[in-house]
Structure formats: structure tokens, C-alpha cells
Chain A
Amino acid sequence: MPSQQEIFEKVRQTLVDALGVDDDEVTPQATLIGDLGAESIDFLDIVFRLEKSFDIKIPRGELFPENLTAADSGFVQDGVITPSGIAELRKRMPHADVDKLAANPKVENIQELFTVEMVTKFIGGKLGA
């Protein structure tokens, strides 16, 4: 079973390939959207590459949940994520640092959940590391 460090190195290479960033930009704390410039379509590319690189299957929405903030979800009110929204995020993204978001639950902060470390933890969970 690969170590967290080995997983991180492969995740780093995946993000370098998918996003065209330099490997020193891919730190555990880096956010995919804010720091690495990922756009929505890149998430599909990243999922394809992770599946290939780690020989795993990642069902749709498992790593990068969709429609988290849909108008009718009841998870967002006045630009702030509701407590039920935070609970939903904890359920759907156990690999993410939801505590940090809960401290400042503005809807635009959701994208900060998507960090390199989150991806690494997710893969670790998949591999049983």
C-alpha cells in the first residue's frame, strides 16, 4: 500500500499534467481553483487521470460533488451555507476540511475545500491507506 507521500507525489504529477502548472506550485495546501487555476472541465480530466494513475474507479460526484449550491437545495441562504448545507458537505466530502469552511461559511469559500491535500486524502481512502 502506498504511503501518503507516495500518493501525494502521484497526485502532484496528475495535476501538473492536467493543469499545466509547475510541480512546485502543487503544495498540499494549494487550492485547485484559486491557486492552480482549475476550471470546471479540468475536474473531469483530473478524475480520468487519477483513475488511470491509481487504477481505481471514482464514481461521478464522489471526489468533486456537483450541484452543491443549487438554488432549491436549501443549503444556501443569502450567500451563506446553512447548517444543513455544512452537514451535507461533511457527509459528501469526508476527505475535505469542512471545519475550516464552517468557520466562515460563505458560499464562495466552498471552492477552498478543493485542495491538493483533499485529493490526496480521498485517494488514500480509496486505496485503504
Chain B
Amino acid sequence: MQNLRYEAPETLADATALLAAEDGMARVLAGGTDVIVQMHSDLIEPDLIVDVKNIPELTEIAKEGGAYRFGAAVSGKTLMLHEDFNKTWPGVMDGVRLIGSLQIRGRASVGGNLCNASPAADSVPPMIAAGAVASVIGPNGARDIPVEDIVTGPGQTCLDKSEIVVSFLLPERPPRSGDAYLRFTPRTEMDIAVVGAGVNLTLDDDGACTAARVALAAVAPTPLLVAEAADALIGTKVDETALEALAAAASAACNPIDDKRGTVEYRIKVAGVLARRAAAIALERAGKNQ
């Protein structure tokens, strides 16, 4: 990193131009809780750092009609302090609250958590479950990409090297909706998910599930959107039988590896356990959201 350059552009156009012009390795810096670790552990040696925190579009939280849009570089801490967002998307915030420690959340952003492209990122499954869409900009213009399509493999995204995730749009919530995210870690804090499960569901007036999305972390090379698990809930009253089917579908969707954080066997089993527990919390939250 002898020749590292640091730039902090104030517009999206300047940021993408800087990235496009860089021949060597460029990295976008938001909270830095992954990029700086990788730099100082000699895992990467970037030639250019583009700090995007001075670009307004990346740091705002705003309502668009009934939907929420928040900047990709908004820190976890800033989201935690936004009362209405917490009320609207408690499951997304379950994930955000689990990223690292308070110190880490003081810097870490959902955009960074996503673009680091770890299968174990805690904010990603509840964002996928929420149906969040990422707004991406590059030298050739803007495009919208569902969050579940961003990560293509461990450490890999579908983004071009000069593209930036600008913000996320979370759709308007129908009444009687609830979401939740649970992860399993051996420690209570400061840990990486061995398994994570996010559930987002909507009930009708009779308490039957009309819509659901279920996403899993750390059980495959990328975070997973599991349609079969959602199908197990839709049309049911999210009763014992449905939860049983959800757990089975979640476990069946896993394609994990043995690593230092967990075994294949363990991850498959606990994915079902967590999906079920998360669904129970989402159900309770939906019931309260009349």
C-alpha cells in the first residue's frame, strides 16, 4: 500500500468516474469495517480508496410514499436511532443490530455488509426477506437489482468494478406484516453467524399468511432466498404443522460447508430451528401490526 491514494468525492458521478479511471485495485470505503481489516491484514493492497460517505445519496434515510429508502453507507448506528424505521422493519434491524459490536455498528453499513459478499452477513437475509431492492449506479447509468441477486459467491458480486450501490428501497408494508431475523453464534455478541434465518410475512384478517419470504445465511456460498420455505407458510395460519414444514424446507435448502464456524450437519439442522423460531417472532410482530 505504498502508493495508496485516498479520495472522498461528493457526487455519484465523481465517485464512479474515479473507479472507472483506476487501472489498479480500487475499493469503495463506507464504514470500512471489512475493507480496513482486509487492508491491514494484507489480504488486499488497494491502489485507490474511494470514500463515499460525503455523497448525500449514500447517507440519507427517507420515505418515498409508503416505502423506505436508505443510503448504502448509512451506519448501523444511524439506522438504530431511526425510530420509525425500527418500528417498520424490526427484522431488518434484528440483522443490523447483530453486526459486530456497538463500535462496529458505529461505522458498518448495510451496503458494505452486502458488498463484502460474505454468505454470513447478518443484515442481508432480512433485507432479502424484506424484498429490498438495491439502486446501483455506474458510468453507464443506474439499475435496480434485488438484494438476493447481488452476491454471486463468497466475496463476489454482480457489480461492475466501477459500480456503486447507492441505496436500498424497502417496499411499503401492508398491515399485519412482521419480520424477524435470528442467527446462531456461540457467543452472545461479537461473532459471525454459523447460521442465520430471516422471515418476513403478512397475514390477512383471519390470521392466514398471504405472503412470505424466507432467507438464510451461512448455509451456502451466498445468502439464500428460499421459496419453498416461504411456500410452507403461505396459505397457512403459521401453525405447528406449517412451522414444521418451514423448518424442513429451510434445512433442505442448505448447501453448507464444514468450516471453523460449524459443520454441515449442524448448519442444516439449526437452519430449520432458526427459521422456525424467526417465523414465530415474525408472526407475533405481524399480529401486533394491525
A and B bind: no
